Structure 1
Amino acid sequence: MNLLLVEDDLDLGNGVRIALANQGMDVVWVRRLDDALRTLDGGTFDMVLLDLGLPDGDGLDLLFRLRRDRQILPVLVLSARDALNDRLRSLDDGADDYLVKPFALAELLSRVRALARRSYGFNDETIRMRGLALHEPTRGVIVDGEPVELSRCEFDLLALLLKRTGRVVTRRVMEEQVLPGGQANGSNSLEVHISNLRKKIGQGYIRTVRGIGYVIDVQSLARSTQK
């Protein structure tokens, strides 16, 4: 998983970053609200770990922006504010979980994994979505109980989209992370791979966001939207 950690405390931030990295997670750590906003605009993440008391503002402002823009990016609040009203406000404003400082790193890791399961429907090895299951260690894919053979690029594209269910993945990100040599510059290679992938896994999963990229929606899509 790709995580954005927003935490201004040096010791805590470094400890959390190391603990998450040791579990195989990719972590971008920033210490200010402005840096968090710029990082979110320029990257793709699976979850945000958000401190509320930041040097240049309140973390709730970032949470408000995410939910205002209808982003379903999971947010786990990490805060020393332990009053019931603070916890309730954060959850009511759109946080998915709330962990009071100081906390044990083992509990943080457990909550991150639990939130990932709730948000994306996968455990540490298998990603599941509406009859489709992708197992990364064996690079296996099953659709409605039947195995499906995918090429390397098709599998990697599907894994990338599934890990970001509900959020658009741009063409640039898909080309740079999956296609050989980051094929672009007018090439229709990405469209060809997506077309082949749709034929193999069936309609109702991958939606084109014209001029931007592709997304797998949480709810099933009508065939007419798959073009």
Structure 2
Amino acid sequence: MDASSPSPPPRFALMEPARLFLLLLLIVGPAGCGTIPKVIILNDPLSNEEHLQLGLSYEARGEWDQAISEYETALDKGGSASVIQGYLGNAYYGKKDYIAAEQAYRKSLHLNARNAPVLNNLASLYLVDRKDLLEAERFVQQAIEIDPARKPYYLDTLAAIYLARTEYDAALAAYREATALSPSDPVLLKQLHEQQNHVLELLEEKASDRTHAPVKSNREDRIEGNSH
């Protein structure tokens, strides 16, 4: 299992409430002593995988703190650190705690440098935070090389990076390639079509601005040239 892809994580049914109860032992002092009962947790019956699934359920509903708590418990119970750190990064990303998200993504990549979805999500984080967009592009290119099956999703991220750098032709080409390669994912296809139309509008505006830009006369050019 790897960290979730750019598409929303699948929704998992919550477990029956009875399965979420921890085993408790009440230790009561001698009768009449007024001792307050103590509750001691003997055992958590859920496995790290079950906590991970609960975390995904919370994340799908946007309950970020609960998701983070479940992921951390899964980690404490021996779950794959490279995988769970990726999920933690996604939850912190959703919570808009971008510093914690980057830390989690980097921990995941330190353990598995070829986790393509995490590379893509780290690039998305750089895009949101307007960090080094050239580095963000390198992350996405790595993801595409490692995991070509998810190329349409990664191209969507790459196109957004080009768009942020006002490289409209490159952005349009990436969106078009992503559309051509897209699986039957109506959400992704709708987003790609909307983004293509947006880029086309930007290109039209750019062409219009260039057409209507004031043109200096030769006399003005000569005056400016003589002033240097």
Short-chain TM bin: under 0.3
Name the TM-score, length of structure 2 as normaliser. Answer: 0.24
Determine which structure has the larger strand proportion and give its number: 1
Structure label with greater radius of gyration = 2
Name the TM-score, length of structure 1 as normaliser. Answer: 0.24
